[in-house]
């Protein structure tokens, strides 16, 4: 009788030991936040990294490059995603480039335009050209789609065309590239500037949009890879507050090295982006 009464206690004790063992092997999480341009790529890189590193979880969150910078500085994220080059005032951060992308002009597939020049882009986005008639289309009003503050796509666009945020006469303001693509796809009179990679990915999926050549140069990942398209930008993983630009977690260092390596070039190309030649 006493032996039978002690067995449940022994079983519970063994469960307790096993539970403690599992707790000590909890998944280690790497938090990556920021650019919506980089996020789809990092999701795929994270999945492959998790497969090769059992017990590791890569948590990717969007919110724009501004969030990536802020979270990397404050330590809220192990790694920030920033889809532009770091500026001279951002020397407290270290960027690790994982791919190249471009920013291009997007219209609906039914729009007869196939190319646009620099001055026309400036005139459209500043409100000087209000209808498509002046560009060979009908007299429909142009719906100007711009990006919200804190988005690197906006910063790259403004820098290239030498504009200020206050200059933009936006009809619609969106956050990420997907919202920009969807807005143009749903409005034949809309025009936007978006990531070339995001646009090519959407076009391949059947979304009715078209990238316009800029000053006669095709807007494509092939043009980017050849160094021809003028609005190119590096896609960076950034860290801050650590010596020599390395994150504190060793698993985060491993993730950055993996994301910068040829082991993910197929994932980069699948997103319509240009892999580094390393």
The tens-digit pLDDT sequence of the chain (278 residues) is: 344 444 444 333 434 444 444 444 457 999 999 999 999 999 999 999 999 999 999 999 999 899 999 999 999 999 999 999 998 889 899 999 999 999 999 999 999 999 999 999 999 999 999 999 989 888 899 999 999 988 889 999 999 999 999 999 999 999 889 999 999 999 999 999 999 999 999 999 999 999 999 999 999 999 999 999 999 999 999 998 645 556 667 899 999 999 999 999 999 999 989 998 75
pLDDT score at 240? 84
Half-sphere exposure of residue 87: CA atoms within 13 angstroms, side-chain side: 8
Q: Which domains does the chain have, with CATH numbers?
A: 28-100+233-275 (3.40.190.10), 101-225 (3.40.190.10)
User: Which pTM value belongs to this model?
Assistant: 0.80
Q: What is the rounded distance in angstroms from the CA atom of residue 212 to the CA atom of residue 233?
A: 18
Contact in structure between 177 and 194 (CB atoms under 8 Å): yes
pLDDT score at 246? 60
**CB count, 10 Å around CB of 171?**
16
Q: What is the rounded distance in angstroms from the CA atom of residue 45 to the CA atom of residue 63?
A: 19
Q: What is the rounded distance in angstroms from the CA atom of residue 79 to the CA atom of residue 198?
A: 22
Burial class (CB in 10 A: 0-12, 13-18, 19+), 143: middle
Q: What is the rounded distance in angstroms from the CA atom of residue 154 to the CA atom of residue 147?
A: 6
Q: What is the rounded distance in angstroms from the CA atom of residue 5 to the CA atom of residue 2?
A: 5
Mention every residue, 6+ apart, whose C-beta is less than 8 A from residue 176: 36, 37, 62, 64, 151
pLDDT score at 207? 97
What is the distance of C-alpha 129 from the center of its chain?
Answer: 30
What Rg do the C-alpha atoms of the chain give, in angstroms? 24
Q: What is the rounded distance in angstroms from the CA atom of residue 215 to the CA atom of residue 195?
A: 18
| 95's tokens | 């960027």
Q: What is the rounded distance in angstroms from the CA atom of residue 112 to the CA atom of residue 136?
A: 8
| 56's tokens | 């590791």
DSSP secondary structure code for residue 189 in this structure:
T
Q: What is the rounded distance in angstroms from the CA atom of residue 69 to the CA atom of residue 33?
A: 9
| 85's tokens | 């080059």
Count H helices and E strands in the chain, helices first. 10, 12
């Amino acid at each position: 009788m006493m032996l039978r009464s002690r067995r449940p206690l022994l079983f519970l004790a063994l469960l307790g030991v096993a539970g403690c063992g599992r707790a000590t092997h909890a998944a280690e999480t790497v938090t990556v936040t920021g650019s919506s341009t980089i996020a789809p790529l990092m999701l795929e890189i994270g999945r492959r990294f998790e497969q090769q590193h059992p017990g590791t979880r890569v948590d990717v969150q969007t919110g724009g490059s501004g969030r990536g910078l802020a979270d990397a500085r404050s330590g809220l994220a192990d790694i920030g995603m920033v889809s532009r080059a770091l500026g001279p005032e951002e020397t407290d951060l270290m960027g690790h480039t994982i791919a190249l992308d471009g920013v291009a002009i997007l219209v609906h597939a039914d729009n007869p335009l196939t190319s646009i020049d620099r001055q026309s882009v400036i005139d459209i986005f500043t409100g000087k050209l209000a209808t498509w008639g002046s560009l060979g289309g009908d007299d429909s009003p142009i719906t100007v789609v711009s990006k919200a503050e804190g988005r690197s796509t906006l910063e790259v666009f403004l820098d290239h065309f030498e504009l200020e945020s206050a200059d933009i006469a936006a009809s619609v303001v969106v956050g990420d590239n997907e919202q920009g693509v969807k807005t143009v796809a749903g409005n034949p009179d809309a025009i936007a500037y978006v990531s070339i990679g995001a646009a090519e990915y959407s076009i391949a999926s059947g979304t009715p949009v078209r990238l316009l050549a800029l000053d006669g140069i095709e807007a494509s990942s092939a043009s980017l890879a050849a160094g021809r398209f003028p609005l190119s930008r590096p896609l960076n993983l950034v860290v801050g507050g650590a010596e020599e630009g390395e994150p504190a977690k060793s698993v985060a260092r491993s993730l950055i090295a993996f994301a910068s390596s040829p082991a993910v070039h197929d994932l980069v190309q699948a997103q319509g982006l240009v892999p580094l030649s390393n």
